[in-house]
Structure 1
Amino acid sequence: MKMSRQLGVAVLGLCVVTGALAAQPAVVLEVGTVKVTDQDVRAELALAPPSARERALDNPATLKQIATTLAARRLLAQEAEKNGIANSAEVKAQVQIAKERVLSTVRMEQFDASHTPDAKAVEAYARDYYRSNPKAFEVPGETKVSHILIAGDTPESKAKAEKLLAEIKGGADFAKLAKENSDDKSNAEKGGDLGYSPAGRFVPEFDKTVAGLSKDKPLSDLVKTQFGWHIIQFADKRPARTLAFEEVSDKLKADSMTKLLSDKRLEKNKALIKDAKIHEDALKAMGAEKPAVSAPVKK
């Protein structure tokens, strides 16, 4: 497996990082006769997602770790060559499969580039999906509320909550009291603002109270939940609606691009193996080679 991964990395580097490999390689690590170059490191990084690759290139410690790993791997591969491991049929097959995996991946990337649908095709597919799946773009009604939480189930916590409720009813600023008193620190600094939420978002007692609030009745009485005592203030309500295409077009177009390319890939793969002949007997024979499970032995 070590050798097959090393070969895969090398081939991927040769196929993908063409710009980096055009320059003369610079040695970044030497151990004995083994030399690891910047091109080797870039080839290894080609296996990583672009964001991880960029972070690694900006971090000398990470690059050093990759170089030392490559050196150890290369030395192990040399040992494998010397002691005959590389000559076994199984290892040769693994090396070949690793090579084919890397080359086929790069070929598919090339295939994608030449079969990328144009903007018109992507938009047409996205709009067709939008029209055909209206329920996928329905959003429920949402209510925006703020709350003040006084944690605990003690006479003192209830008394504090009652005092705050009286102050609010007397004209005190809800947001100010929330910042100064609420035990829900995730939103206290925002004046207790919980944003817009659909029904069912909160614990039942809280949710039921929110459902009963409106512009005509914007302030709740004390609400007891497992977290303590709440005072809830209504802010706004949005009715259920269907999202307009323009609101979801970016995601739909990205998904459509992926789907159209995936369909092209599937067509390509089907075309490649359309004349394949499956040798069922050989496959069944493989299953028959599984080692038998021994019965437990009594001691």
Structure 2
Amino acid sequence: MELRHLRYFCAVAEELNLTRAAQRMHMAQPPLTRQIKQLEAELGTALFRRHTRGLVLTPTGQFFYEHALQILEKVDTTVAATRRLARSGKQLLGIGFVPSIFYSELPVLIRQLRQKEDIELTLSELTTIQQVQALKAGRIDIGFGRLRIDDPEVEQEVLFDEPIIAALPRTHPLAGATPTLADLAGFPLIVYPATPRPSYADVVLGLFRRRGLKVTVIQEANELQTAIGLVASEMGFTLVPEQVKRLQRDDIAYVPLAEGHITSPILCSRRREPPSELLCHVDALLRPLVDRHRQG
């Protein structure tokens, strides 16, 4: 399957008429018809239902159309960005990050990198697992996450460990306390992200499981901000890295845990290969920020 097959298919899916789609693609109708039939044969399913007045997408055709559009849009965006980068003569640096990293040192690093006129930054909000996949595919050059991943092609470095705290509704009975995990286990829990797994959600659940504590997960959220919003609505509590308390809200109380040794690592992930000059520059900017954080 080639990109042209996706373009042919999308044209037919949007026109729902082979003659108009062929005109749009500047080709004759018989070759276009053959391409669609070949695509259906390769996928092993019918993408269209034929009617006297035209075509209708099948459910599998609709699914394929939605995803084919995303692929083509990504390709077009990438091609345009590549051409723009070539014209500018800049070096491209892709950074992946989990949302909770964005409340501390990462914004400072990004500000410093943006001051370099020869660097074009691309930022991608990705879970740690997605960062590893993006590193291996070459879509990013460095990632900042919280989950340890064992992969021979990627190396991870712990920059520092960050205390985990509880985010509670301001009206919660434990809002002014220093609760233990056993205290919290009696209340409904909100975890994030819901997918993909494993993720920080499994780290949080593991804290209770290893202590033999049963906790009721009332909701799984995809985003940190969503989880905080659900806490504010008094649906339950969640556990967050300490720096998230910079996200001040009048309806949220951030409280330390009685088990003060419970932490979440900040991990820097890179491809397991000699670093480029650009990544060495990133490392030189990153080290003072990490040292400053460690010193409080």
TM band (smaller chain): under 0.3
Hey, which of these two has a bigger chunk of strand by percent?
2
Structure with greater contact order relative to length (CA < 8 Å, sep ≥ 6)? 2
Q: Normalised by the size of structure 1, how large is the TM-score? A: 0.27
For normalisation by structure 2, the TM-score amounts to 0.27
